[in-house]
Structure 1
Amino acid sequence: MKKSDTGSTSSSKEKESEVTNEQWDKQTEEVPKPYTIRPRKKTPAAWKFLEEFEQDGEKWARCKLCHQELKRGPTSSTSSLNRHVDKCKIIHGLGLQKRAQLQFQPGDSSSEVTIANFKYDYADMRKNVSHYIMVNELPFIHVESFMFNELMRKATPFWQKISRATVKSDCMSTYEIEKKKLKDIFNSVKRINVTTDMLTSSSQKIEYMVITAHWIDCSWKLNMIVISFCNVPPPHSGFVVAEAISKCLTNWEIVDKIGTVSVDNAKANDVVLRTLKNMYDIRKTSLLIEGKLFQVRCCAHILNLCVKDGLEPIDEIIEKIRDGVKYVAALEGCRIKYAEIAKHLYLKTKKLILDVPTRWKSTFKMLICAIEFKQVFQRYPSFDKGFLEYVPNAVDWEKVEGICSILEAFNPATNIVSGTHYPTSNLFLEEIKKVKQILDQKSFD
C-alpha cells in the first residue's frame, strides 16, 4: 500500500490534523453522557434528623436528638435547618453527619493498596452494561433476568435494576457516541479504502451487505472497522447495490476520501463498480489515478475459485470421504472402534475432521487427516461392513494425495493474503508467483 493511499504525509499541517490513539480515547470526554436518569426532587438531608409539625397555624421543625424547635419561614426554606444540623453537638458527637465512603484501589505495585473516596456512578454503570450486552450479543431482556440482577447485587450494594427498554436506549446512545468518534477520526484521514461483500443469512434467508473501512493512522497502524451491515432488498442489480454503497459513504461523509473498493471476482460487481464510477463522474469528484485503482479484485476469492475448480474432478471422492467421517462420528461405538484400530497401528490419537463444504481450507484439512488414517479406513470394514461403501480405492487415494500436494501451495498463500491486521497489497504478487510455479510443474503430471 502506497503512502499516497493512506493519507499520511510528511507535512506538519497534516500531522497536526491526524488523530492519535490517545485522542481517540479522549473523544468520550467531549461527548455528553446520555445514560443519566431524570433528576428527582431532592429531599434535604436535614429531615433525617428533624421532624415537621404545626403550631398556631405556622410550620415548625423539631430536632429528634436535642429537641430544639426551629420556626420555618413563609418560603419553607431549609437553610436554617441545615445550619442546625451542622452545629448540633449531639449529631456531631454521635458521628451521624454524612461522611465520604472509602474504597481500596491498587497502587503502583502489586503489593501496594491505597484508600480513596468512593462514589457510585450510575451513568457509567449503565454505559458498561450496554457495552456488555452488545459485545456478547445478548438480548435486551437479559438485564431483567433474576441471576443477572442477583450477580450485580453481590458485586455492588448500589445496583439498581435496568429494564430492557432502558438498555435498548443505552445501546443506541452508545452507537451514536461511537459513530461520532469515528466520524471525527475520518475527518482527519485523507484516504480511506473500503471492502464490501454480500452474504445470505442461513436462518432468515435474507441478503445482507457488509462494508468495511480500512485506513492507516499517523503511527502507520492499519485500522479496520465495519461501517455498515444492512439488508439490501431484491433485486440485487448493479444499480441497487451501488446505491446502497453510495448511501453508506454519504452517511459517513467519506465519499471524497475513497481510494479503492475491494470486491470479490463476481461479474455482478463489475456492474456495481461501473455504476459507482458514473456516480463519481456526475458529482465531479476526482478519483485516485483517474479511477484506475478504484476496483480491486479480492485475491483470496480468486484463489478460492481456482481451488474449487481444481477439486471438481474428485468431488465424488471427497463426498465419499465426507460421508465416511460422518458415519464414524455418528455413534460412540464407531468412534471407539476407530480409535482402537488407530492405536493398534501406532497412529496418533487424532480425531477425524469434518469439513464445511463452502470452505475449501476445511476440506483440505479433512483430506490431509483422512490420508493419515488411510490404513484405518481400509481395515475398519472388517468390523463394520456398512463402512465399506465409504472407503476409497487405491486410485482414489492417489488422486487425493496429488490434489493435496497442490493445495499445500494454496494454503499458505491464502493465509497470507487473507490477513486483516496488516497490509496485503505488497504480499500477494509473490504468493501468486509461488502458486503459478507449482501449477506449471503439475501441468505435465
Structure 2
Amino acid sequence: MRKHWKRCFDSNNEQSKRQSIEGGTSGPISSPSVTKFDQAVSRSILTKMFVTEEIAFQFVERNVFRRLFHSLQPKFKIPLHTILARDILSLYDIEKMKLQSYLSYHCQKVCLTTDTWMTLSQKLTYMSLAAYFIDNDWKLQKRILNFCQVEGHSGDVLGRAIEGCLDAWKLHQVFTVTVDNATSNDVKDGLKEIDDSITRIFNAVKYVKSSPMRSESFKACIKWEGINYKGLVSLDVQTRWNSTYLILEAALKLRAAFDLLELQDDKYINELSKSYGVPTNDDWTYAE
C-alpha cells in the first residue's frame, strides 16, 4: 500500500506540473495526457466546425488542412468532401428532430417572416422562412425553419411552400405572416375601405411633383402659410405600406398649402377633377 500510495503521489505531482505548464485545467479542452482518441467524436466535431464556420466542403481535402490534422492526431481519418456533405445532412436531420421537439413543447403561437431572392446567373428563386415565438420562460425566440428553392414569386407559389413547410414542422398555430416587398404580395388591403380618400390625396401629391414649376408654386404656398415643416411630399410605392404612411404624414402637415393651392391654381382643380377630384375635409380626416 505504501508503494502504491507513493506511485500515485508521484504521478499526481507530475500531472499537476504538466497542467500548470499547459495553462491549467480550467479551460474547456481536456489535457492531452488523459484524452482518449475517438474517430466518431472527432469526425462529429469536424462536421460541426464546417457548418458553424461556413467553410467550403472542398477545404477538407486541401494539403495544408490534412497536414495540420495529421500532425495533431495521425490516427484521425479525414473524410472526403462528399462524405463530409453526407455527414452534414445527417447532422441536419438530428438537429431538426431536436428543434421539432423543442417547438412542440415551447411554441404555442408562431409569427412567421418570409423573404425571397432570385440568382442573377441561374435565374433561380429561393425562399427563407423564419419563426418567432415566446417560449415557456417568456423569452423571445427565433428559429430559421426553411431555406428552399421555389418556382417563382407569386403569392400562390409562396403560400404553398409555406404551407408545406409548416406541415413538415407540425406548426399550425400561426399568428401572423410578414412577407417581403414583392409586387405579388398584397400589402395594402387594409386601406381599401378609404381607397378613394387616399387616392385623392395621392393625386394631389402627384400633381405638385409632376413638374419643377408646379413644385416651386407649391413651395411658395408652404412659405405663404408659414409652415415650418422642412420635409417634402414624395410619391407612393405600391409594394411598401410604410411609404403610404409617410406620404400621408407629410401631406397632413402640408394640408394648408394644398388648400391654398386649390384657391390659386385653376389647373390643379381641373386636372384632379378628371379623376377623383381634389381632397375633401373628410379625406383629410380619414388620412389622420
State the shift of 1:187 in Å.
0.6
Cα 1:152/1:440, change in 2 over 3 Å? farther
Aligned pairs (5 A) from 1:295-310: none
- Pairing of 1:74-93 with structure 2 (within 5 A): none
Counterpart CA distance in 2 for 1:263 and 1:219 is: 28
- Structure 1 stretches of 5 or more lacking a match? 1-101, 275-291, 293-308, 314-404, 408-428
* SS of residue in 2 equivalent to 1:251: helix
CA deviation after TM superposition for structure 1 residue 152, in Å: 1.8
1:171 to 60, 84, 88: 88
Deviations, residues 106-129 of structure 1 (Å, cap 9, x unaligned):
4349xxx97862112221221222
Q: 2:145 aligns with which of 221, 227, 230?
A: 227
The amino acid that maps onto 1:120 is F
CA contact (8 A) 2:130 2:143 kept: yes
- What letter corresponds to residue 258 of structure 1 in structure 2? V
Gaps of 5+ in 2: 1-17, 191-204, 210-229, 233-241, 259-288
The verdict on how the C-alpha distance between 1:115 and 1:157 changes in structure 2, with shifts beyond 3 A counting, is: closer
Q: 1:433 to 1:106 in 2, by over 3 A?
A: farther
Work out whether residues 105 and 116 of structure 1, in 8 Å CA contact, stay in contact via their aligned partners in 2: no
* CA–CA separation in structure 2 for the residues paired with 1:259 and 1:130: 36
Tell me the SS of whatever aligns to 2:34. Answer: strand
CA distance in 2, matches of 1:163, 1:262: 41
Question: What letter matches 1:170 in structure 2?
Answer: D
Residue pair 2:116, 2:180 contacting (<8 A) in 1 also = no
Q: Secondary structure at the match of 1:168?
A: helix
Whole-angstrom CA distance in 1 between matches of 2:185 and 2:141:
25
User: SS in structure 2 opposite 1:268?
Assistant: coil
Question: Paired residue for 1:199, among 96, 108, 117?
Answer: 117
Which amino acid counterpart does residue 228 of structure 1 have in structure 2?
Answer: N
Amino acid at match of 1:126: R
- Conserved in 1, the CA contact under 8 Å of 2:134 and 2:140? yes
Aligned residues: 191
Aligned-residue RMSD, C-alpha: 4.1
Distance (Å, rounded) in 1 between the aligned partners of 2:70 and 2:247: 59
Conservation of the 8 A alpha-carbon contact between 1:105 and 1:115: no
AA aligned to 1:261 is V
| 1:211-243 C-alpha deviation (Å, 9 max, x unpaired) | 111112223222212211111124x44332211
* Alignment match of 1:124 (pick from 33, 41, 61): 41
Per-residue deviation, residues 183-228 of structure 1 (Å, max 9, x unmatched): 0111112111111122112332211111111112223222212211
Matches within 5 A, 1:422-433: none
**Which of 184, 187, 196 matches 1:268?**
184
Q: TM-score, normalised by structure 2?
A: 0.54
**SS in structure 1 at match of 2:117:** strand
CA deviation after TM superposition for structure 1 residue 158, in Å = 3.6
Identity of matched residues, %: 30
Q: Distance in 1 between matches of 2:37 and 2:88?
A: 21
Indicate the SS of the match to 1:246. Answer: helix
Letter in 2 for 1:233: E
5 Å-filtered alignment, 1:42-61, equals none
Give a deviation string over 1:249-268, Cα, whole Å, max 9, x none. Answer: 111111x2211111135452
Q: 1:253 to 1:144 in 2, by over 3 A?
A: same
How far apart in 2 are the matches of 1:435 and 1:237? 27
